[in-house]
Structure 1
Amino acid sequence: MAKLLHLDSSLNGDASHSRAVTAAFRAAWESEHPGGTVVYRDLAAEAIPHLAAAAYYAGQVSPAEHSPEQKAAFELRGTLIQEAEEADAILIGAPMYNYTISSTLKAWLDHVVLYGRTVGTPDRTLAGKPTTVVASRGGSYAPGTPREGVDYVQPYLEHLLAGEMGLDVHFIIPELTLAPVNPAMADLIPLAEASRAKALEEAESRGKQLARQLSA
């Protein structure tokens, strides 16, 4: 049975646009593959601690050679990496905060990026794993827009997840999410609604497609 690792990082609970889209993906996945497993981490509700020096340096020592202190320090990193390795697909909600990802998602990445295991080796353990990133944002950073070039979510995640870790990454981008609540963006509400509808449709389609593919 296929296993999905689902991460959310939005601070906005039920009002979150990224959570709505990841939920659509997950619902489609589960409807297509009801016998599958979903491992869920809400990085906003239960934040992972930032990577400490002891855990970082323990990652440079073979687990077989860990001291008791190193073993304890590395335990969470080992758990998070193993969850990603055991998943057949990964789903990440990555809303933009101050032009980049949330600190909670960055903390998860810092634990999972391990030289010689998930990066920096021809045998990267996550290479090729289908990964869907829902990168919602309050405005638009598309080519030709006034804010083109200041999106540090998609370029960063493309480089780290795809370039360094070798994941097969697909982005879904609901944008202009602030239009309904920002009077200055009122004229953009139709575009925001269209973007949200497209993102939900794409998430549902991709969730079904991957579930069929991985459970075949």
Structure 2
Amino acid sequence: MATLLHLDSSFSGEQSVSRAVTSVFRENWEKQHPEGTVVYRDLAAEPLPHLDGLGASAGFADPAQHTPEQADAFARRLTLIEELEQADAVLIGAPMYNFTIPSTLKAWLDHVILVGRTGGEDPSGKGKPLTIVASRGGSTAPGTPRERYEYVQNYLQAVLGDMMGFEVDFIVPELTLAASTPAMADLVPAAEASRAKALDEAEQKAVLLAQRLAA
């Protein structure tokens, strides 16, 4: 049966829209694969250490030449890389914080990007489906005043799609701060519609993807 790697990075807990949407995706995935496997990492609850010089340098060195410190640092990277490689599909909750992704998600990316293996000309994840729930408090949709600040989808497409070869698909619930921000009160109906659309997309895309992989 298929394996889903599921990552969440929102620090908003039960109030998180990205977590609500990834939860619906995962639930519907599991309905299609009741005997399958879900590997879950909550990057907010259990953040990874940032990639340091030891872990980075170890990625460019012959393992036989690693110092004990490099070997320890690289072992963590290998665990994360192998989780990614062994998954049949990947699901990532990536809320926009200060116009970009959470630092916890960036730390995970820094560990799993290894040129010559997961990145480069023939990456190990090439063609693998990867769904990203890219929620944001306002809107950076085309035609909006903040369109130029869209650094989440553009960045993740560049890294996960162009560099690492994944087949990237986005679900984008917007205006998530409307209900709690007086200045956005007029946008509450649009926010509710965006959330409903995202939840519906999560359900449909999870089912279709699970069926595709089972075929």
Smaller-chain TM-score range? over 0.9
Residue 62 of structure 1: how far off its partner (Å): 3.2
1:56-135 equivalences under 5 Å are 56-120=56-120, 122-135=121-134
Query: Does the CA contact (< 8 Å) of 1:77 and 1:112 recur in 2?
Result: yes
Runs of at least 5 residues in structure 2 that lack an aligned partner in the other structure: none
1:9 is matched with which residue? 9
CA distance in 2, matches of 1:7, 1:86: 15
TM-score normalised over the length of structure 1: 0.97
Residue 63 of structure 1: how far off its partner (Å): 3.1
Matched, 1:34 2:40: no
CA distance in 1, matches of 2:73, 2:191: 44
1:181-196 equivalences under 5 Å are 181-196=180-195
CA distance in 2, matches of 1:24, 1:38: 14
Q: Deviations over 1:100-152 (max 9, x none)?
A: 000000000000011111112x3211111100000000001111111111111
Identity %: 65
1:211 is matched with which residue? 210
CA distance in 1, matches of 2:39, 2:107: 18
1:51 is matched with which residue? 51
Runs of 4+, deviation exceeding 6 Å: none
CA distance in 2, matches of 1:72, 1:101: 27
The code of the aligned residue for 1:150 comes to: Y
CA distance in 2, matches of 1:211, 1:144: 34
Root-mean-square deviation (CA, aligned residues, Å) is 1.0
Q: Deviations over 1:57-89 (max 9, x none)?
A: 001123354343322120110000000000000
1:142-181 equivalences under 5 Å are 142-181=141-180
Query: Does the CA contact (< 8 Å) of 1:33 and 1:212 recur in 2?
Result: no
